[in-house]
């Protein structure tokens, strides 16, 4: 993993810790929600099953970040503590990596060109 630029919201106005903390506090202050929500893993290449949904996704990082590899560190601990509560979210031993949109040469026998072509196919 390499260092990269910090992510921020360019249209938010002031980017300081005080406004960020206040924003989070106002969101937490509106809890509990009126309707129960749910979460599930979904293949982004497949159509959604629902008419209205909030979709959270992370963009592909080409060869910069092996996000699924990094996520395994946290996933194994989350799985140990939450698998009984959310069995469908933690049904795999590790984070699925086969369809991750990164050009990781080690997943293609060290071949950078095969890794690039995989990313271009998607």
**Count of structural domains, the chain:** 1
* 11 inside domain: no
Q: What are 94-120's pLDDT values in tens digits?
A: 887 777 777 778 788 888 888 888 777
Residue 68: which domain range?
A: 17-121
How many angstroms separate the CA atoms of 117 and 122, rounded? Answer: 9
Decide if 2 is inside a domain.
no
Summarised one tens digit per residue, pLDDT across range 65-88 is 667 778 888 888 999 999 999 998
Q: Does 32 reside within a domain?
A: yes
**41-49 contact pairs (CB < 8 A, 24+):** 41/88, 41/89, 41/96, 43/99, 45/99, 45/122
1 located within any domain? no
Q: What pLDDT digit, counting tens, does each position of 4-17 carry?
A: 666 666 566 666 67
The answer to the question of residue 113 being in a domain is yes
Query: Residue 63 has which token pair?
Result: 């060869």
Say if 7 falls within a structural domain.
no
Alpha helices by DSSP H, listed for the chain, are 17-29, 67-82, 112-121
Q: Is residue 105 part of a domain?
A: yes
Rg (CA), the chain: 18
Q: What are phi and psi of 62, to 5 degrees?
A: 55, -110
Q: What distance in Å separates the CA atoms of residue 72 and residue 89, rounded to the nearest whole number?
A: 14
Q: What angle do CA 43, 44, 47 make, to 5 degrees?
A: 90
Q: Residue 19 — pLDDT band, cuts 50, 70, 90?
A: confident
The answer to the question of residue 9 being in a domain is no
């Amino acid at each position: 993993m390499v260092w990269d630029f910090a992510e921020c919201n360019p249209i938010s106005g002031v980017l300081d810790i005080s406004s960020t903390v206040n924003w989070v506090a106002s969101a937490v202050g509106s809890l509990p929600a009126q309707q129960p929500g749910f979460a599930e893993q979904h293949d982004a290449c497949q159509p959604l099953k629902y008419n209205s949904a909030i979709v959270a996704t992370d963009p592909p990082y080409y060869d910069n970040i092996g996000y699924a590899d990094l996520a395994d560190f946290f996933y194994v601990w989350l799985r140990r503590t939450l698998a009984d509560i959310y069995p469908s979210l933690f049904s795999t031993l590790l984070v699925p990596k086969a369809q991750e949109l990164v050009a990781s040469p080690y997943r293609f026998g060290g071949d950078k060109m095969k890794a690039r072509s995989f990313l271009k196919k998607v």
